[in-house]
Amino acid sequence: MRVTASDIVKAIDQLSKNRAYQYVDKKNSGQIEIIRADRPDGPIVIKSYSPAEKQTADDVKEKSISPEMIWRVANAFREGQPINFDRVLAGSYNTRSVLEALLVHTPQFYFCYPGRIEDKNGTTKIKNGHKHVVWRPDLPHANETLSSIETGVSISEIPNLDIVYEALVLPDEVQKPKISIQVQRRHAQIQIALIMIGKHLGFRSWIAQNDKGITYQGNPIGTMEGVINSLRDEKLLASYPNAVKDALLIDCVWFKEDRIMPAVMEVEHTTGITSGLTRMKKFQDSLPPFPTRYVIVAADDEHEKAVREANQVQFKSLDARFLSYNAVEELLSLCQRRDLTGVTDDFIDTYLEKLVK
């Protein structure tokens, strides 16, 4: 099971708006009031104040918990696995303790103190751990209560893993006037990550014809190792000229050996999910029934839109999946740290979420 930003916003929206909530950390005597929670994905608007300093809600300004922050937290949760808000949010967002407190007041979330594994001079000890939050949909507590739980879990804390993209250049013919340069760069970075992941997993990657001129590390990405020069050279598509034509502008297609196509992927920005699904549907229609995965790759806060679009009647046959930018970079980090071998195509399913209900 996975929790989404809309699940979090819905749960917090069901908390009373006419009362004060306390922080999880008892040292913080502040109070929190909910002004509103905008469904589906936020923002959540609150007021936080300190009665110890003789403040009331009337003395402070409203603060906003952004959809981006909510999605970042939602993507970190796995059922029964404690998370540390400060680590997940890397110390960012001055409302992280507020979100933590409100979430723990909802029925499916508890705070806990799992043990902390410490390795020092070759000796391993389990010491008292830091505050975490755990999602337990199987064991709900009363709404609007601050509840703790024993987990029996020990945490081995490792440093945050960063993905570093070197400088890239978008040629004039690649740049799209209606889309910001920042969005276009992010699109290109994710395409590059998919090429790198494909190479680690033993796949060849097709990159959209109009994106091959993007320069990365001083060379066009069309010349990166593992990138296919021409779709006509792929034996799997050789007998289907219409499929070759329809795949030309698809952002990334993975091929394996001469008979397997593990995934067809569209990297989408805020306005492009429908167009991406349309391109993949046209490609699907130009092939005989063939096992593959049709995947929307997008920012975490595009998930709900992807669900709505993928469930339209005309796209149902794609049985589309969702791959978040965070998941792409988590997978790339794993590939870069571990020289994966013997990995089957099914491995990538662990990073994909079904969109069609």
Tell me the pLDDT tens digit for each residue of 64-80: 999 989 998 998 899 99
**What CATH code is assigned to 168-354?**
3.40.91
pLDDT value of residue 193: 94
> Cα angle at 240 between 318 and 285, to 5 degrees?
25
Instruction: Read off the DSSP letter of residue 160.
Output: P
pLDDT value of residue 9: 97
- Classify residue 272 as exposed, middle or buried by CB count within 10 Å of its CB (0-12, 13-18, 19+): buried
Nearest to 145 by CA among 19, 52, 2: 19
Instruction: Enumerate the domain spans of the chain.
Output: 5-155, 168-354
pTM over 0.75: no
pLDDT value of residue 338: 77
- Comparing 162 with 121, the larger pLDDT belongs to 162
State the CB neighbour count (10 A cutoff) for residue 23. Answer: 19
pLDDT value of residue 230: 92
Please write the tens of the pLDDT for every residue from 254-264.
999 888 999 99
Q: What do you get for the CA distance between the two ends of the chain, in Å? A: 14
pLDDT value of residue 123: 66
Which H helix or E strand runs over 322?
strand 321-324
Predicted confidence band at 248 (pLDDT cuts at 50, 70, 90)?
A: very high
pLDDT value of residue 315: 96
Please write the tens of the pLDDT for every residue from 170-191.
888 778 777 778 888 889 999 9
At 3 the three-state DSSP class reads: coil
Distance CA 147, CA 90 (A): 25
